[in-house]
Structure 1
Amino acid sequence: MIVLGLILLLVGVLIGMNLLTTIGGTLILVGAILWILGATGRAVGGRKHFF
Structure 2
Amino acid sequence: MLRWALIFFLFALVAAALGFGGIAGAATGVAKFLFWIFVVLLVLSFVIPAIKTPKS
Shorter-normalised TM-score: what interval?
0.5 to 0.7
* Length-normalised TM-score, structure 2: 0.60
1:10 maps to 13
Q: Structure 2: 5+ residue runs without aligned partners?
A: 46-56
Root-mean-square deviation over aligned CA pairs: 1.6
Aligned residues, how many? 42
| Structure 1 residue 30 displacement after superposition | 0.7
Larger radius of gyration: 2
1:31 maps to 34
Distance 2:43 2:17 in 1: 35
* Length-normalised TM-score, structure 1: 0.64
Structure 1 segments of 4 or more deviating over 2 A? none
Q: Which has the higher contact order (CA 8 A, sep 6+)?
A: 2
> Which secondary structure does the structure 2 equivalent of 1:41 belong to?
helix
Q: Percent identical across equivalent pairs? A: 7
CA contact (8 A) 1:2 1:31 kept: yes
More helix by share: 2
Distance 1:41 1:26 in 2: 23
